[in-house]
Amino acid sequence: MDPQLPAIVRTYIDAKNAFDVNVALECFSDDAVVHDEQTDRRGKQDIKRWLEETINKYHDQLRPIRFTEQNDTIVLTAEISGTFDGSPVELDFHFSLQSGKILNLSIA
């Protein structure tokens, strides 16, 4: 992984790959929003449920390929592998950061 990737994004990826819901959750601000699979998850409780559900359902692993950064927005392209049809796939993760935390994450 590129050492230039912001620390909070690296921490999130490492925690997600280790299936560590608590550490991944700490990467998000209290009022964060995650958009994945055409659904918004708002706030830490909803995001925690999303993390638990995706880990249990897909056992997914993220392998960063490349990223761009402009101001507090990072677009990370990653290979996602897991227990889902078509694995692996490349997806874009759009992170908006604020005060060292993830404020928004949109996965497409």
- Topology classification of domain 7-107: Nuclear Transport Factor 2; Chain: A, (3.10.450)
pLDDT at residue 57 is higher than 60: yes
DSSP labels, the chain = --TTS-HHHHHHHHHHHTT-HHHHHHTEEEEEEEEETTEEEEHHHHHHHHHHHHHHHH--EEEEEEEEEETTEEEEEEEEESSSTT-SEEEEEEEEEETTEEEEEEE-
Mean pLDDT, to the nearest integer, of 51-56? 97
Rounded percentage of the chain residues whose pLDDT exceeds 70: 97
Domain map (residue ranges) of the chain: 7-107
Tokens at residue 17, please? 């790959």
pLDDT at 3: 54
pLDDT at 4: 85
Question: pLDDT tens across 63-89, in order?
Answer: 999 999 988 899 999 999 999 999 999
pLDDT at 72: 84
pLDDT at 107: 98
pLDDT at residue 24 is higher than 60: yes
Mean pLDDT, to the nearest integer, of 55-68? 96
pLDDT at residue 101 is higher than 90: yes
Contacts of 6 (CB under 8 A, 6+ apart): 69, 74, 95, 97
